[in-house]
A and B are shown apart, each in its own frame.
Chain A
């Protein structure tokens, strides 16, 4: 498939698929985090300003913590995502798919300094693009990956319940394509459904030309036959 998914081997012997996150979405997450940090800093500066020198001392400790520990704390203790990553539905994981460890999080966040060079995370972006699975230098050293969090599954069951015998024997990938069409149809626009179904309409019924909707229905029915749909009384799953 034409996507960036990455396979992780598990002890169960079944490969786990994760989708590494690209440059733009991670930049956005970073900008969100940056703004949050900036706001926290301004609020603290105003509040601690009242305390004079004591406040200045405490403030510089907070600046230090915000600069270096903010990502580590969120990544390790709050499910692998800083607030920015959470909003962009990203998560940091170990290469083996387990939650990120403290030492890995420390490494990847200390090495930000180098990924930032010469300006604006240029090194990080270049290594992300070259690495194949979007890892900046810090990620490589720390054995981590930034992946999309649990993705939304577009999985709809069509309302058609009839079955139709296969017009010809299909190969496995062809069967899968038809089932996939049927189950994704809800998420596609009507015009796109027609367009896709029309490609197959000569094959579905070579004698008569089917109209758009009939072709779509035909595919649903073949799909029902393939997945072995039994009755009309199906609860719709989400």
Chain B
């Protein structure tokens, strides 16, 4: 069949398919319902058929391009990922997140070690040599931290006493989640970025805690930290673990190509990062509205902090066990 005849025979079909695509792309609800019949896939398949005919018969590139365009748009409409957002979200919290943490427990332990061991080391070192704090921070920062956790102030953990809870909430979200994202993403550089951020944060945390303890601000500091640290510290180590996993897939791809290994690990890491975002949102909420409150008795704060730690650990150890395959562990 010559090209012109082929076009004449099928032009009406192409036009009606184009029209259908137009209304599907406009995403009007009413149209969508009308099109949920078998009509669309059948028409789409016919377009695919025409395209392959046009290619094998050597019709002009213009016609092939036109059909390719139609097929591309049809493909996009037919093969969509349905967004069952609410269902997926529930599934993720009850099973998906704790399962993916357990599946990656080696990375979690490595990241935790890289964060907590330097923290403990620096804590002890600053205890032994108090002047070491000035090697970690400059004197100006040390003074700032001292005033933030001054036992006499009525709001702790703030630069300025006038800062309100809401303002700090926003600040914590922007800052902490940003840090977590960077800790994760820079892991792509052969894990180096994640290692750096974990190490750095561990050192800062250990040195500061030690310095404030000796200064007599221990109670203000710990009552402030204890509330949200269950979420915040775990979330930071998780994002570091995800970053290390990402970078390690490039260093040791196993039997896959490096790009393939990267893709697969990225897919797993992103679900950890979703969880990290949720944890840091909770942490920011607790930190802004609960931790900074000095009206509460220290014992209540320690109690709540300990409860949260227990909850976090129980959640990650036991949640979503029911339908987890044994081999995953």
A residues bordering B, Cβ < 8 Å?
10-14, 16-18, 53-54, 56-61, 63-64, 67-68, 79, 93, 96-99, 101-103, 106-107, 110-114, 117, 137, 140-143, 150-151, 153-155, 172-173, 175-176, 179-180, 183-184, 224, 226-230, 237
Contact = CB atoms under 8 A, between A and B. Distances in A.
Nearest to B269: A107
Contact of B52 (A11, A14, A151): A14
Interface of B: 1-5, 11, 25, 44-45, 48-49, 51-52, 55, 58-63, 65-66, 68-69, 71-73, 75-76, 79-81, 83, 162-164, 166-171, 173-175, 177-178, 181-182, 184-186, 188-189, 193, 246, 259, 262-263, 266-267, 269-271, 273-274
A96 B60 CA distance: 26
B173 A60 contact: yes
A180 B62 contact: yes
Contact of B185 (A63, A96, A113, A227): A113
A184 B184 CA distance: 50
B62 A175 contact: no
A151 B2 contact: no
Contacts of B52: 13-14
B185 A61 contact: no
Contacts of A54: 164, 166-167
Contact of B186 (A113, A153, A183): A113
Contacts of A229: 4
B57 to A, nearest CB: 9
B182 A113 contact: yes
A57 B171 contact: yes
B178 A101 contact: no
A228 B2 contact: yes
Given A14-B48, A60-B170, A176-B60, A114 B186 contact: yes
Nearest to A175: B58
Contact of B72 (A16, A59, A175): A16
A75 to B, nearest CB: 13
